[in-house]
Amino acid sequence: MEIVRVPVLSDNYAWLIHDAGRTVALDPGEAAPVAAAAAARGWTIDQVWLTHWHPDHVGGAAALKAQGASVAGPAAEAGKIDGLDTLLAEGDTIAVGDAVATIWSVPGHTAGHIAFHLAERATIFTGDTLFAMGCGRLFEGTAAQMHANMRRFAGLPGDTRVYCGHEYTLSNARFAAAAEPENEAIAERLADVIAMREQGEPTIPTTIALERATNPFLRSVDAEELAERRAAKDAFKG
């Protein structure tokens, strides 16, 4: 299985997933860069997978569908996403080539947000729920829901690769250092992230093991602490 990062819009990442001659575009915020990245590799986009309804994740879906791709996304948000061919909910599976993804319901950022877990490939696509060193804003859900998501993600094998929807790691790392000033792993990672971004390097994917050590939201002991940290991050100016 090959996974290709495609920067779109200002700070989004769309993902191409290619296996056994088939290709998925996941969360294509715009179509042209994603289609170009596939074409450069001689791939045809067969499917579009969507984690949630926000325009910066679904903006290119209609154009890719017009080029022949089918579109799959969260059943709970079907009323907000035009053109869904396949409705996905907790426990459903969907495949690209020989790679099978199981759907996780992970509400909080949006009410119907889903993640795609490819267990046999030690890979999960988390959209705007779990970020490198962060979590999504609680636009349509609760801290309790997001804390449950974080516990579920934390339970994955440590080598699981996490592919999220934005390059937010530098701002997340700065907040993490303020939230846990005694955490040496966070301090070390902040230095690494600064160096990577100064070189124009992406910080995604991350791993579950790295998030367990350095993500203040994944490390929150309960929903109350996560809520406090989320509110503090929303107001953070560092």
Kindly report, residue by residue over 138-187, the tens digit of the pLDDT.
999 999 999 999 999 999 999 999 999 999 999 999 999 999 999 999 99
CATH architecture label of 1-86: 4-Layer Sandwich (3.60)
Residue 213's pLDDT is 98
* Integer Cα distance of 139 and 123 in angstroms: 26
For the chain, give every domain's residue range: 1-86, 128-136+168-237
pLDDT band at 237 (very low <50, low <70, confident <90, very high): confident
One-letter identity of residue 40: A
Annotated catalytic residues are 52, 54, 56-57, 109, 128, 166
> Chain-wide mean pLDDT for the chain?
98
Binding-site positions for Zn(2+) = 52, 54, 56-57, 109, 128, 166
